[in-house]
């Protein structure tokens, strides 16, 4: 949806005050309940653990029925949500929205500020990074479902062959030297064909804050090309690209990518803590071979960032009865002890401090597949213990653009050529910034470079 200058100003005020209903909000209370007196809530989410929460919630709240719908993953769902809100009908009552996309939906006025429904009291429950992600312009626009602190997942069998111990590698320079040894075995240390989320996470980890949005939602700062921390990552990653030390041809989340992880030709991943169950299903032949350690950093000092992770939000509505019912489900899924536990058991990486410090969670060594069979995929390692450590290392203060969905969608158009040898990474990022500045100005933002 393109926002004109006047609409941007209005929605910026909405983000501040939380008092103006979004365009397309569902109005009236006539549809709050059916003939039996039950309220039905439609929830859009692609997260596979959400279905586990319904039985317990409906038992505790017999007058509320949950209808869970997978409206598509990430951008597909966002497109459907935008269309429904603009049409004024068909929108869900709750929706899963990734942290990177949430500011955009706050500024558009599509999600409820749930602070005064009780959420403002939950700050100590969540990790600082995830709590900061749902706190926008002094409001609480949803609650954290999960988190994705970055960690280094590696195939120990391949690294042993290369004579490399990732647990002894702390710096980017050491990672580069390890990449040469892994390449000599015929494998790549990792892959990247041009992923916007990975780029953001790596520059975030390095301390870059290239994006800022003013509280009134009218001014954005886009400073990719002038940020020395961004350049530091670009220079390091460019060296690995130039020397054919990373697989730039295999796109992530494809069958070929899974095959590479499965056969060891892609030997490791720098990725979010939600990856264990994806490895189990996508690379079953890696069972017992993989391990997890901390991310290497530019200076060798512990630092981290998030990769992925989602909030659960209540969609803007004039039907206050439904908003209150939706908040009950929101609280159950993200804050209630039973709701959180059943999702963590299903593989969600927690965003709350209690789960991250639980002995059962920290001591876990096995992953259970869909058939109920336990797999020590990480060779008996207490893998959650390592991932919890990564969560503590996440840098605070990173900001997303208020049109981050658009920004990530355009990354490949400009930076993709940097992974085929047609241009330098820095040139692609320069062109990407120029497009983001132009887009922001078209939407009515004042831009600072």
Mean pLDDT of 94-112: 96
Same domain as 213, residue 157: yes
Q: Which residue has the higher pLDDT, 195 or 20?
A: 195
Give domain status of residue 116, yes or no. Answer: yes
Give which of 395, 391, 425 is closest to 208, Cα–Cα: 395
Q: How confident is the model at residue 37 (pLDDT cuts 50, 70, 90)?
A: confident
3-state secondary structure of 219: strand
| Mean pLDDT within 114-122 | 97
pLDDT at 5: 33
Same-domain check for residues 274 and 169: yes
Mean pLDDT of 113-125: 97
Structural domain includes residue 215 = yes
Give just the sign of the alpha carbon dihedral 36, 41, 42, 48.
negative
Average pLDDT (339-347) is 92
Per-residue confidence (pLDDT) for residue 215, from 0 to 100: 84
Alpha-carbon distance 181 to 159, whole Å?
Answer: 9
Do both 416 and 277 map to the same domain?
yes
- Average pLDDT over all residues of the chain: 91
User: Hey, how many other C-beta atoms are within 10 angstroms of the C-beta on 3?
Assistant: 20
The string of DSSP letters for 263-299 reads HTSB-EEEEETT-HHHHHHH-GGGTTTEEEEPPPBSS
What 3-state class would DSSP assign to 375?
A: strand
Q: What are phi and psi of 94, to 5 degrees?
A: -135, 155
Of the pLDDT bands very low, low, confident and very high (cuts 50, 70, 90), residue 1 is very low
Within a domain: residue 20?
no
* Dihedral angle sign, alpha carbons of residues 186, 390, 97, 106: negative
Q: Is residue 84 located within the same domain as residue 209?
A: no
Opening angle at CA 51, ends 21 and 308, nearest 5: 65
- pLDDT per residue over 239-286, tens digit each? 999 999 999 999 999 999 999 999 999 999 999 999 999 999 999 999
**Residue 99 shares a structural domain with residue 214:** no
If residue 411 lies in a helix (H) or strand (E), which one and from where to where? helix 404-415
pLDDT band at 85 (very low <50, low <70, confident <90, very high): very high
Q: Are residues 286 and 319 in the same domain?
A: no
Which residues are CB-contacts of 165 (< 8 A; sequence separation ≥ 6)? Answer: 159
Round to whole Å and give the CA distance between 327 and 375. Answer: 36
Query: Residue with structure tokens 């996470």?
Result: 201
Best CA proximity match to 348, nearest among 130, 43, 44, 49: 49
Encoded tokens for 374: 């336990």
Structural element, H or E, at residue 362: helix 359-362
The pLDDT of residue 34:
62
- Whether residue 294 sits in one domain with residue 433: yes
- The tens digit of pLDDT for each residue in 200-228 reads 999 999 999 999 999 888 999 999 999 99
Examine the pLDDT at 21 and tell me if it is beyond 80. Answer: no
pLDDT value of position 32: 55
126 and 154 in one domain? no
Confidence of residue 439 (pLDDT cuts 50, 70, 90): very high
Q: In the prediction, which pLDDT does 33 show?
A: 60
What's the pLDDT band for 35 if we cut at 50, 70, 90?
low
Domain assignment of residue 197, given as a range? 149-304+365-445
**Same domain flag for 335 and 437:** no
Output Rg (C-alpha) for the chain, integer angstroms.
22
Residues forming beta bridges with residue 136, ordered by sequence position:
139
What does the pLDDT read at residue 316?
97
Give me the pLDDT at residue 8, please. Answer: 34
CATH number, domain containing residue 100: 3.40.190.10
Residue 137 confidence (pLDDT):
87
| 3-class SS of residue 123 | coil
pLDDT digits (tens, 9 = 90+) for 165-184: 999 999 999 999 999 999 99
124 and 160 part of one domain: no
Is the predicted pLDDT of residue 371 greater than 70, yes or no? Answer: yes
Mean pLDDT of 422-449: 97
Distance from C-alpha of 120 to C-alpha of 147, rounded to nearest angstrom: 19
Listed residue (413, 419, 405) closest to 432, CA to CA? 413
Query: Does residue 119 share a domain with residue 96?
Result: yes
pLDDT tops 90 at residue 237: yes
The percent of residues above 90 in pLDDT, for the chain, comes to 87
């Amino acid at each position: 949806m393109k926002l004109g200058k006047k609409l941007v100003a209005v929605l910026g005020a909405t983000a501040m005050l939380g008092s103006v209903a979004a365009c397309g909000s569902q109005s009236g209370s006539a549809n709050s309940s059916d003939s039996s007196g039950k309220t039905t809530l439609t929830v859009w989410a692609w997260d596979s653990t959400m279905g586990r929460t319904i039985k317990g919630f409906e038992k505790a709240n017999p007058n509320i029925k949950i209808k869970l719908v997978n409206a598509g993953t990430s951008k597909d769902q966002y497109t459907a949500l935008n269309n429904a809100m603009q049409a004024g009908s068909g929108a869900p009552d709750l929706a899963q929205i990734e942290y990177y996309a949430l500011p955009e939906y706050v500024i558009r006025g599509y999600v409820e500020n749930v602070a005064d429904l009780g959420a403002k009291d939950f700050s100590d429950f969540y990790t600082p990074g995830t709590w900061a992600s749902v706190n926008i312009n002094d409001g609480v626009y949803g609650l954290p479902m999960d988190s994705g602190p970055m960690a280094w997942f590696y195939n120990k069998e391949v690294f042993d062959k290369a004579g490399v111990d990732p647990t002894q590698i702390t710096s980017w320079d050491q990672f580069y030297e390890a990449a040469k040894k892994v390449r000599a075995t015929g494998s790549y240390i990792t892959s990247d064909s041009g992923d916007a989320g990975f780029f953001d996470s790596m520059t975030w980890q390095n301390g870059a804050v290239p994006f800022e949005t003013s509280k009134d939602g009218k001014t954005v700062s886009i400073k990719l090309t002038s940020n020395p921390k961004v350049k530091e990552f670009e220079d390091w990653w460019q060296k690995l690209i130039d020397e054919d030390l990373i697989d730039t041809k295999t796109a992530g989340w494809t069958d070929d990518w899974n095959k590479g992880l499965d056969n060891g030709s892609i030997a490791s991943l720098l990725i979010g803590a939600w990856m264990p169950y994806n490895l189990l299903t996508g690379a079953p032949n890696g069972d017992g071979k993989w391990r997890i350690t901390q991310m290497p950093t530019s200076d060798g000092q512990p630092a981290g960032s998030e990769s992925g992770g989602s909030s659960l939000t209540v969609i803007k509505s004039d039907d206050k009865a439904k908003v209150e019912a939706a908040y009950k489900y929101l609280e159950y899924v993200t804050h209630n002890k039973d709701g959180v536990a059943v999702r963590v058991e299903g593989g969600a990486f927690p965003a709350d401090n209690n789960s991250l410090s639980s002995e059962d969670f920290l001591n876990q060594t096995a992953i259970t597949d869909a058939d109920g069979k336990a797999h020590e995929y990480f060779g008996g390692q207490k893998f959650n213990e390592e991932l919890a450590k990564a969560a503590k290392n996440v840098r605070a203060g990173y900001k997303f653009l208020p049109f981050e969905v658009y920004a990530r969608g355009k990354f490949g158009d400009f930076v993709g050529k940097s992974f085929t040898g047609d241009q330098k990474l820095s040139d692609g990022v320069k062109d990407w910034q120029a497009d983001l500045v132009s887009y922001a100005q078209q939407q009515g933002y004042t831009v600072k470079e």
